Amino acid sequence: MTTKTNQLDPGAVAPASSFDLAGHHRLEIRRTREGGESDTVELFNHGGAVMVVIELSERGPILRFEGPGLTLRATGELILEAERLKLRSEKGLDIETGGDLRLHADGDLHSTARIQTIRAELGDAVVEANDDVRIDGERVLVNCTTTTPASPSPNFAKQP
């Protein structure tokens, strides 16, 4: 089923242009003038669930992917640039590389967690500061290879 709509009444929502695709997928294109003009392209799977949405408006394009997973793969460099970038995950976030990892901030770096572990698996752990180094805790344990009952991480000494 394919319908095409070219003319729009001011303030009206245009009927969607719908295109049936291979694998029983469907593509719909819709123009809306409610609260500003926008065009929406939606890709539906064979069951009718939305997989990809591209919304075009005066603000620019918005891409939305819906489904159990998403993979972005590049054989070269992949760059994400934004005024502000936010990554959010419900259950966990892993950053992994086969090479070096560098974090750089022209401003301050703040790290907050229930428990934090810093481990150098081979070689030194180095802390450098232009000014003072402050360590503040209920207890500061130095050269301690076993955990104590007050230690927040009972698995720390057991890890390889």
Residue 145: what pLDDT? 78
How far is CA 110 from each of CA 8, 61, 113, rounded to the nearest angstrom?
51, 32, 10
Helix (H) or strand (E) holding 28: strand 26-32
CB 50 within 8 A of CB 43: yes
Check residue 110 and give its pLDDT.
96
DSSP state of 65: E
pLDDT of residue 24: 93
Q: Which of 10, 65, 59, 55 is nearest to 28 (CA)?
A: 55
- Stretches in the chain below the pLDDT threshold 70: 1-14, 147-160
pTM of the model: 0.60
- Residue 55 · residue 38 · CB < 8 Å: yes
